[in-house]
């Protein structure tokens, strides 16, 4: 199993009231950097990884990719990154999509709160 390359978003499932309430958690400093709260789109997809193996991933989409983005393997995750669409080059690439192997997603991004 790989170590997840992303620390957020976290899905927090609060079971303390007797029903499951789901929250999406993004660190405050990241929200401050964004300047606004960007809610990523998340869905489970089956796709071919860069290693040629088809498997299930949790796809987390932060921005819509364009034809100048590239796919990278980062610890078994597919990361779609690139410069802004109107830039020829940039100092730091933006993350557009991250495909988390579903087992890594469940173990590293889903947290349950319980009364115990």
pLDDT tens-digit profile of 34-46?
888 889 999 999 9
Asked if 21 and 11 count as a contact pair (C-beta separation under 8 A), the reply is no
pLDDT tens-digit profile of 11-39?
999 999 999 999 999 988 888 888 888 89
Name which of 98, 112, 82 is nearest 15 in CA terms: 112
pLDDT tens-digit profile of 49-102?
999 999 999 999 999 999 999 999 998 899 999 999 998 889 989 999 999 999
- Residues 18/24/25/31 CA torsion (nearest 10 deg): -150
């Amino acid at each position: 199993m790989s170590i997840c390359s992303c620390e957020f978003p976290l899905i927090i499932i609060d079971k303390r009231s007797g029903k499951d309430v789901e929250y999406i958690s993004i660190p405050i400093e990241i929200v401050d950097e964004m300047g606004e709260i960007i809610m990523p789109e998340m869905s489970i997809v089956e796709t071919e990884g860069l290693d040629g193996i088809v498997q299930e991933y949790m796809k987390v989409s932060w921005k819509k990719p364009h034809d100048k983005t590239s796919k990278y393997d980062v610890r078994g995750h597919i990361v779609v990154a690139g410069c802004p669409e109107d830039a020829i080059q940039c100092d730091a690439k933006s993350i557009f999509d991250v495909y988390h192997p579903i087992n890594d997603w469940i173990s590293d991004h889903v947290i349950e709160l319980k009364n115990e």
